[in-house]
Amino acid sequence: MTVPLAYGRGWLPVTFPDDATTVIELRPTPPLMDEHAAVLAALEAPLGAAPLREWLTPGCRICILFTDITRATPNHRLIPWLLAYLEGAGVQRDQVTLLCQLGTHRPCTREELEYLLTPEVVANWKVLNHEPFNHDACVALGTTSTGVPAWINRHCVEADVRIITGFIEPHFFAGFSGGPKGIMPGVAHVDTVMSNHGAQNLGNPRASFGHCEGNPVWEEMLEIAQRVGPSFLLNVTLNDRKEITGVFAGELATAHRAGRETVRQSAMQRVDDFFDVVVTTNSGFPLDQNLYQGVKGMSAAARIVRPGGTIILAAECSDGIPTGSPYDLLLREESSIAGVLARLATPGFSRPEQWQAQLQGVIQSKARVLVHSSLPDDLLRRAHLEPCPDIGEAVRTALQRCGPGARVAVLPLGPLTIPYLQSHGDPPHR
């Protein structure tokens, strides 16, 4: 059988053996008939909060937080609709700041901001990148569980009205994206992010896809986000064609809970046993722009690969590793992935983006990992990964090595679909 894998801005067709292949996909979800009308209706009848119009007072300062270039949020539709709603309610443009939720990612270029928000929005409204490495751009709001100051972007903290936009999908250690993640880590200082994403939190078994309550990463994210004060959430859910399937607006925790339960129903897919080989993606553009994000696709596959099995990731990586990033440098400084894990376990060691290297190392401790991408082979090997020029051939070789009865699972949309083994203590509803 031929299965199209999400890859870059298109699809990569790969042929798999008919008698040994299980394809794991999202449950089909129809798009909304009128996305614009659904967004306006959600703003007027939000969950657990007053209509957005009632949050607005004369001269109030408004901060709209939007996702960066690595996320599939349809900002180019949501943000212009939201701004038109605010103007219709009497808001002046100089009252509004649009703040990009970079987390610890690089700043978006003007071209990328225009792609995200439309050129008209960038030209006519105040649009800023978050500054995750600048304490002066942030305000301290108490401390994290490890005693680190919880620094959040000043524009977010000092606004009279905060509107947190984004979309909800499964997340490999925060349970689900969206919701409080728009604030923490979205507009948090790198020190705060590093505390929350530290090795101890990520090593908790609840820090995984689909788990929020009882997950120390997500629970601290929510706690810090709530310290800022009330925030109005505008999150959406998407189908495999990136069409809007639901709009969840209102009080931050309440609206996010409703949205993530909707995602759970479509994304969580039960399987009966482990697979010898799992082929995954990073759901195509924009998430597969770099190898750093590719750990998410690996993580989805690792849930169902047999110990000692093989994971094959298809991720275009058009933006590189990125080369020179803290993640890249950490991988390069050690001769093996075991060395990376040993360094991360060193008391007192701390490095931005170490969480991605940690999870990559944990996955590679369980399974062999191959990567099909546009990256040169030497860059992949520098990241302690094996190049995979031909996915179909690599699958056939791995299955032959395993012997009769070997099976392969395919996740065409990678971490947008979360397989689980209920018999191994991972029920779908938590």
Residue 280's closest CA among 265, 266, 295?
A: 295
- Selecting among 105, 130, 155, 256, the annotated active-site residue is 105
Q: 215 — alpha (psi -120 to 50), left (phi > 0) or beta? A: beta
φ/ψ of residue 96, rounded to 5: -110, 135
Distance CA 426, CA 424 (A): 6
Q: Is 197 a catalytic residue?
A: no
Q: Is 429 a catalytic residue?
A: no
The Cα–Cα gap between 117 and 97 comes to: 13
- Are 194 and 339 in contact by the 8 Å Cβ rule? The answer is no
Q: How far apart are CA 412 and CA 159, in angstroms?
A: 41
- Find out whether 232 and 254 touch, Cβ atoms under 8 Å: no
Classify 212 as helix, strand or coil: coil
Spatial CA neighbour of 42 closest among 234, 191, 171: 234
**Helix, strand, coil content of the chain in percent (nearest 5):** 40, 25, 35
| Nearest to 328, CA basis, from 301, 350, 357, 295 | 357
The C-alpha atoms of residue 280 and residue 363 are separated, in whole angstroms, by 13
Q: In terms of Cα–Cα distance, which of 258, 223, 179, 230 is closest to 50? A: 230
Q: How far apart are CA 129 and CA 134, in angstroms?
A: 12
Of 337, 318, 324, 328, nearest to 385 (Cα)? 337
Own/partner long-range contacts of 423-428 (Cβ < 8 Å, ≥24 apart):
423/272, 423/273, 426/303, 428/210, 428/264, 428/268, 428/270
Q: Which one from 36, 76, 130, 171 is the annotated catalytic residue?
A: 171
- CB distance 193 to 220 below 8 Å: no
Residue 351 CB burial class (10 angstroms; 0-12, 13-18, ≥19): middle
Any idea what DSSP says for residue 154? H
Pairing of strands 408-411, 161-167: unpaired
**Are 6 and 239 in contact, with CB atoms under 8 Å apart?**
no
**275: Cα within 13 Å, side-chain hemisphere:** 29
Helix locations, 289-325, DSSP H: 291-302
Known catalytic residues? 105, 171
